[in-house]
A and B are shown apart, each in its own frame.
Chain A
């Protein structure tokens, strides 16, 4: 009995550790996003500060050119004064010194080139497109979710996305060759062949997958949680109670580029709330297997 209690405590501690790491991941991700956003703002500021620079230079250069031209004019005036003297040789040399329009032509290209090409375009390319997931409709008000466990992690699936829970014997599941390790195969349910997913292998981050090394899904998996009109079955270790959650209790993830299946986390129940639609989309995605865990 004491051993059993000790085991329970150990399991609970392990679960807390994992949940904390999951939360840390989410926090780190959000921080990263905030940093990216602020660095993006900084970049824009830099660009703003860089762009006017050539404009500021322009008058200087222009003034320089103008002063140069003035000097030329003065020289010319002097020379013209000199030219008033009856000296034909000197008079002949004057016309080449006068190219006023040529001076203007030289100024313009020098100003335009630095403004357009090198600064603005790379910044435009560096702007990341914000990936924003709208929160599903069911989370706008109080909703119910069923808790279930996979490899020690508690997940919650909203009842609106749940199509049923069925007993699952892996002996009756037909394994399909050449698929990801989290794909257990096809199971018969209501005359349909439903793909069964080892949820633990799908949701656990790469560094936690080692905990499943040498794991036999046959001994772990007991039930399948059906989602998306029984399009997919999520294999789980045990099914727990149904809880009522208010939107405030959930720490929602609105920007999702990684783990799109994770709608949010519920601290009170130490569980991760799944977005069944995103989950199904990820499963249906024919991307290379590695892309699923990125």
Chain B
């Protein structure tokens, strides 16, 4: 098979990888706007528990989600490697707080496996698949499904 034909059938996608509780996660590079260092986050009263607050991003208000809380992981105090990844999910622009950002990796579609579902919670639909990158497991996240439709609406209303 020629290289062109392979790229057609098995295209390469790029993923921004980050760490959360020692596990490596990936989100599509096209959905990442920018990566920020930890900054002051203003809390929003009455917001869902996974919302840390809002930040001012060059005059725009961006809601920041605590991805550890969203993923049901233990809490951790922000440190020097903590980052806010600004992502686009549909019409929404939100920031997700992660432990650290690692790199951008190329993955062929064939390299992505469906994540087995075992006692799946409703909130874990955001796991798009898994892939092994240099002996490490990369958990691929579909940011559009990070929140349910109602939650996205709630987020937009903040």
Q: Which residues of A contact B (CB under 8 A)?
A: 174-180, 182-183, 186, 188, 193, 195, 197, 232, 283-284, 286, 288-289, 292
Using Cβ atoms and an 8 Å threshold, which residues of chain A touch B71?
Answer: 177-178
Binds A, one of B4-12, B40-48, B57-65, B115-123: B115-123
Q: Which residues of B contact A (CB under 8 A)?
A: 20-21, 23, 71-73, 113, 115-124, 126-127, 130, 132, 137, 139
A197 vs B130: C-alpha distance when bound (angstroms): 18
The answer to whether B127 and A186 have CB atoms under 8 Å apart is no
Query: In this complex, which of A176, A283, A286, A288 has the most chain B Cβ atoms within 10 angstroms of its Cβ?
Result: A176
Known: A174-B23, A175-B21, A177-B72. A186 touches B130 (CB 8 A): yes
Extra contacts, 17 of them, besides A178-B123, A178-B126, A286-B117 (Cβ < 8 A), are A174-B137, A174-B139, A175-B21, A176-B124, A177-B20, A177-B73, A178-B72, A178-B127, A179-B117, A180-B120, A180-B121, A186-B137, A193-B113, A232-B118, A284-B117, A284-B118, A288-B121
Known: A174-B23, A193-B130. A180 touches B119 (CB 8 A): yes
A211 vs B29: C-alpha distance when bound (angstroms): 45
The answer to whether B123 and A197 have CB atoms under 8 Å apart is no
The answer to whether A179 and B113 have CB atoms under 8 Å apart is no
Using Cβ atoms and an 8 Å threshold, which residues of chain B touch A182?
Answer: 118-119
A180 vs B72: C-alpha distance when bound (angstroms): 11
A183 vs B23: C-alpha distance when bound (angstroms): 15
The answer to whether B121 and A289 have CB atoms under 8 Å apart is yes
Using Cβ atoms and an 8 Å threshold, which residues of chain B touch A178?
Answer: 71-72, 120-121, 123-124, 126-127
Looking at the assembled complex, report how far the CB atom of B76 sits from the nearest CB atom of chain A, in whole angstroms.
14
The answer to whether A183 and B119 have CB atoms under 8 Å apart is yes
Give the A-B pair count, Cβ closer than 8 A.
67
Looking at the assembled complex, report how far the CB atom of A276 sits from the nearest CB atom of chain B, in whole angstroms.
15
The answer to whether A289 and B119 have CB atoms under 8 Å apart is yes
- From A191, which residue of chain B is reached at the shortest CB distance? B132
The answer to whether A195 and B123 have CB atoms under 8 Å apart is no
Known: A186-B116, A193-B113. A176 touches B127 (CB 8 A): yes
Using Cβ atoms and an 8 Å threshold, which residues of chain B touch A197?
Answer: 118
Looking at the assembled complex, report how far the CB atom of A116 sits from the nearest CB atom of chain B, in whole angstroms.
44
Using Cβ atoms and an 8 Å threshold, which residues of chain B touch A179?
Answer: 117-121, 124
- Interchain Cβ contacts under 8 Å between A and B, 11 examples: A174-B23, A174-B137, A176-B127, A176-B139, A177-B127, A178-B120, A178-B121, A179-B119, A180-B119, A197-B118, A286-B120
- From B117, which residue of chain A is reached at the shortest CB distance? A286
Using Cβ atoms and an 8 Å threshold, which residues of chain A touch B132?
Answer: 188, 193
Looking at the assembled complex, report how far the CB atom of A232 sits from the nearest CB atom of chain B, in whole angstroms.
8
Using Cβ atoms and an 8 Å threshold, which residues of chain A touch B115?
Answer: 176, 186
The answer to whether B23 and A180 have CB atoms under 8 Å apart is no
Using Cβ atoms and an 8 Å threshold, which residues of chain A touch B23?
Answer: 174-175, 177
- From A283, which residue of chain B is reached at the shortest CB distance? B118
A292 vs B120: C-alpha distance when bound (angstroms): 11
A289 vs B72: C-alpha distance when bound (angstroms): 14
A195 vs B115: C-alpha distance when bound (angstroms): 9
The answer to whether A183 and B137 have CB atoms under 8 Å apart is no
A197 vs B119: C-alpha distance when bound (angstroms): 10
Looking at the assembled complex, report how far the CB atom of A115 sits from the nearest CB atom of chain B, in whole angstroms.
48
Using Cβ atoms and an 8 Å threshold, which residues of chain B touch A284?
Answer: 117-118
Nearest first, the 10 A-B pairs at minimum CB distance are A180-B119, A178-B124, A177-B71, A174-B137, A183-B118, A195-B116, A178-B121, A289-B119, A195-B118, A178-B123
